[in-house]
Structure 1
C-alpha cells in the first residue's frame, strides 16, 4: 500500500530547508515512496459533515534554489489520507483552533493526526510545563502589572514573555533595578489586557538551552544545546543562537522520560522540550524544531525513527 501523507504547514516556499524539521520529515517520507499532499490552514474545509482540503501533490528535493515541485492540485477527503502532520507554526490563534476541529473529523474516521488535535488545543506550549511543577523555575502567569512587579522584586532577575510566541520573539529580561520594567510589562500585557508568563532568570543559559526531541514518549539520546550570542540571553537559533550537539545528561533524561509518559498518554507523538540548567522551560508540540540540526551533526535519522513508529501504528490499525 502506498501511504498517503498530508502536511499542514506555513507556505513551503518560505522555509529554510537547512533547518526546517518539516522538510526533513518530508524528505524521509519521499524516500519511502509516500505520496505527499501539501496544504495550508486556509485550504481546510467542511462540506456536508465531511472534512476536505484543497491540496497540492508535491515532490521535494534538497536543492536550496528550488526545493519543491507541484505535480498537481487535488481536492481530497481528509479521511482518505493515512497520516496528517499538523506543522503550522504558532501563534495558536482561533484560526489554528478551528483547523484542529476540522482535522478531528478525519481523525474520527481513522486518519492519524500528528499531533492529536484535541491536545494541540488543550496544552499551550508556555503553560504546559506548569503541569510538571517540580521541574520548572519559579513561575507567574498573570496580566496584572502589580503582581509582575512584586515577582521581579522577590526574584531580582526574571524573564517575561507572551503566551503565544515562538522563536525567541518578544522575550524580555528584567532586573529589579531596571527602569524600563513598567514599559516592558505594559508592552507584553498590552496594558493588562493579555496574559504573559514570568519566570526566574536561569544563569545557566550561558551553557545552552537544551532542545530534547521526544517521539512516542521516548527521548532521543542526543539533544541540541542552543548557545546564545555574546551579550544575548536567548539561545533560539532563529535569532542567531548557535547549535551544539550534546548527549542528554541524567537529570534531563529523567525529566524527559517523565514528560514522555504524559505526552504518549495524550496522543502527542512528536514533541520538543526545552531545559535550561536542569529546569523545564517549555514543551513544544505544535511544530517542534531541531530535527535537522541533530541529523546534520550525528548519524541518526529522527525522521526515520518517527516514520517507523507511524508505520507500526498504521499496521496495527490496518490502515
Structure 2
C-alpha cells in the first residue's frame, strides 16, 4: 500500500512518544510506502484533483535524523491507497477548511481516515452530549447565570473552552466560588463564547484515562494520565504522568457501547477520555498514546491500527 500521512512538520516530531511516527514505523515494517505532507501543501484547482506536495520517506531507526527523503513531488490524494489525517489540533477555521478539501478528495476517490465529515461532526468536547448515560453532570452555555446556578448545585466544578487542547484553559472552582466571576469572563468573553462546565470528578487523582478505539473495538489497555505537583489537569502536555493499565469493567462498557457507532460513521481511531466512571471527551482529530501503552504493557497498538487499516482497504 501507498499511505499518505497528513501531518505537522516531520521535523517537529518527538519520535520517542509520537503516535504518527509509530504508525509510520509499523507501515514501513510491513513493506508499505510511507509518504508525508502538510496541509500547507494541499490544494484544489478547477480541472484538477485535490493534490499535495509530498515527500516519500524512509525511516532510518536513528533518534536524531529519523527519516530520509527518497522522492518529492505533487501527487493526487486519490492515487494513494489511504490518506491518514494526523494533523494535531486545534480544530480552528483552517482545520475546518482542511476537512472540506479532504472531503473533496473523497468524492474523487480518495480513502481518508478519519472521515473528514466525521471530524466535522464530532467536536471533541461536544461529542459526549450524544451519550448522556455515560457522562458526569455537564452544562454547555454562554450564560453567566447558568454557570453560577450549576456551581450552586454541584459545588466544585471544572470550566473549559470548547476549542482547547492539551489541558489549555481548564479551570477548577471550589465550593467557595473564589474567582468564578473572573474565570467566566475569561472563558465566555462577556457572553460571546460558549463554555463547557462539568461537575468535578475526584477520580482525576487516579488519572484521566485515554481509552483507544481502533476499528470500533477497544484496545485492552489504556493510559491513565495522572496530575502532578498540585495540578488538576492530567494531560501529558500539562505535565501529567502516563501510567498504562488494563481497562476497567466500566471503561470497557463505555468503549464497547460507543465503538461500533463511531466506527460506522467513519472514525477508525478514537480516543475516549474517562475520569473515574464518566466519559469526559471523545477525541477524533489526532488521538495519541500508542507508544506509552506499547512501552509499558507490551501491547503493540500501532500493529493493531495497521491491521485495522489493511482490513478496511
Mapped contact 1:219–1:257 kept (Cα < 8 A)? yes
Q: Deviations over 1:261-319 (max 9, x none)?
A: 211110100011011110000110000011110111122211111111221222xxxxx
In 2 relative to 1, CA 61–157 (structure 1 residues): closer, same or farther, beyond 3 Å?
farther
Aligned match of 2:215: 216
SS across alignment from 2:54: strand
How big is the alpha-carbon RMSD for the aligned residues of Structure 1 and Structure 2? 1.3
SS across alignment from 1:50: coil
1:49 Cα offset (Å):
4.9
Aligned match of 1:37: 35
Summarize the alignment of residues 138-157 of structure 1 with structure 2, pairs less than 5 Å apart.
138-157=137-156
1:101 is the counterpart of 2:105: no
Q: Deviations over 1:108-137 (max 9, x none)?
A: 343321100100011100000111001101
1:59 Cα offset (Å):
1.8
SS across alignment from 2:147: helix
Structure 1 runs (4+) greater than 3 angstroms displaced:
none
Aligned match of 2:277: 278
1:51 Cα offset (Å):
0.6
Mapped contact 2:49–2:108 kept (Cα < 8 A)? no
1:53 Cα offset (Å):
0.7
1:243 Cα offset (Å):
1.2
Distance 2:58 2:259 in 1: 33
Mapped contact 1:270–1:288 kept (Cα < 8 A)? yes
Aligned match of 2:184: 185
Instruction: In structure 2, list runs of 5 or more residues that go unmatched.
Output: none
In 2 relative to 1, CA 51–206 (structure 1 residues): closer, same or farther, beyond 3 Å?
same
Q: Deviations over 1:144-203 (max 9, x none)?
A: 222112211211111111111111111111123233111111111222221121100001
TM-score by length of 2: 0.96
Aligned match of 1:10: 8
SS across alignment from 2:302: helix
Mapped contact 2:160–2:196 kept (Cα < 8 A)? yes
Aligned match of 1:317: none
Instruction: In structure 1, list runs of 5 or more residues that go unmatched.
Output: 315-319
1:27 is the counterpart of 2:33: no
Q: Mean Cα displacement is larger for which, 303-312 or 21-30? A: 303-312
Distance 1:234 1:110 in 2: 41
Distance 2:224 2:210 in 1: 6
TM-score by length of 1: 0.94
In 2 relative to 1, CA 253–71 (structure 1 residues): closer, same or farther, beyond 3 Å?
same
Summarize the alignment of residues 30-179 of structure 1 with structure 2, pairs less than 5 Å apart.
30-47=28-45, 48-179=47-178
Distance 1:226 1:96 in 2: 26
SS across alignment from 2:22: helix
Q: Mean Cα displacement is larger for which, 102-111 or 7-16? A: 102-111
Aligned match of 1:251: 250
Aligned match of 1:237: 236
SS across alignment from 2:172: strand
Q: Deviations over 1:226-280 (max 9, x none)?
A: 1110311111111111111111111110111001021111010001101111000
Distance 1:60 1:167 in 2: 28
Distance 1:62 1:229 in 2: 32
Across the two proteins, how many residue pairs are aligned to each other?
A: 312
Distance 1:199 1:157 in 2: 9
